[in-house]
Chains A and B, each alone.
Chain A
Amino acid sequence: KNEVEQSPQNLTAQEGEFITINCSYSVGISALHWLQQHPGGGIVSLFMLSSGKKKHGRLIATINIQEKHSSLHITASHPRDSAVYICAVSSDGGSQGNLIFGKGTKLSVKP
């Protein structure tokens, strides 16, 4: 079983829809990261969080440490949001910079 599981694997939405991507993990963590990977391959860090909730523009990330679960929400989705979204955790048993990655959620937003 993977230590970091994401759902759904693929997601297609219409422009303007509210989107939720889920991440569950089975290890103790010091932090959780949400990353965005565009078709060219480059990855951008969206959030790093260890508790509660963070918001940046139309993106919101939440984490529930007790339930070992995090969600990434996108409000008023737009075709430019189309990308692969990756959840990754820093295990509290190892170096904090070494991340364990989920397989990603491929999001496609149609106009």
Chain B
Amino acid sequence: DGGITQSPKYLFRKEGQNVTLSCEQNLNHDAMYWYRQDPGQGLRLIYYSQIVNDFQKGDIAEGYSVSREKKESFPLTVTSAQKNPTAFYLCASSIQGGYGYTFGSGTRLTVV
């Protein structure tokens, strides 16, 4: 079955370390997105990519980086520059125009 796979489900990181969250989709979707969810807040866009080898910053890109070398993969790196990285991270994909929007199951990152 087609879908989005995020791994790992839970991740612990020491302060000052970079960490990479994986997102893979087999839906043949062109567009992929990374969102951050904090308690009591709506999801906020970190980065998005509409095509391979191209991506744009979202509303809260500072302290994060991404790559899109393959259509299926859109990994997110949380760098040590991100001041408050503890959050729930969701990856999503869609075809152009926002149709077929599909979310992954999320990664909960905790900085210790």
Task: Tell me the A residues contacting B by CB distance below 8 Å.
Answer: 2, 4, 30-31, 33, 35, 40-45, 48, 86, 88, 90, 95-104
Contacts and interface: CB of A to CB of B under 8 A. Distances in A.
Contacts of A48: 98-99, 101
Contacts of A40: 105
A42 B98 contact: no
Given A31-B98, A35-B103, A88-B42, 14 more contacts: A41-B37, A42-B106, A43-B92, A44-B103, A48-B98, A90-B98, A96-B97, A96-B98, A97-B31, A97-B94, A98-B33, A99-B45, A101-B35, A103-B40
Nearest to A45: B101
Interface string B13-44: 00000000000000000010101010011111
How big is chain B's contact interface, by range? 20 to 34
Q: Chain B at the A interface: mostly helix, strand, loop or mixed?
A: strand
B5 to A, nearest CB: 12
B42 A2 contact: yes
A97 B103 contact: no
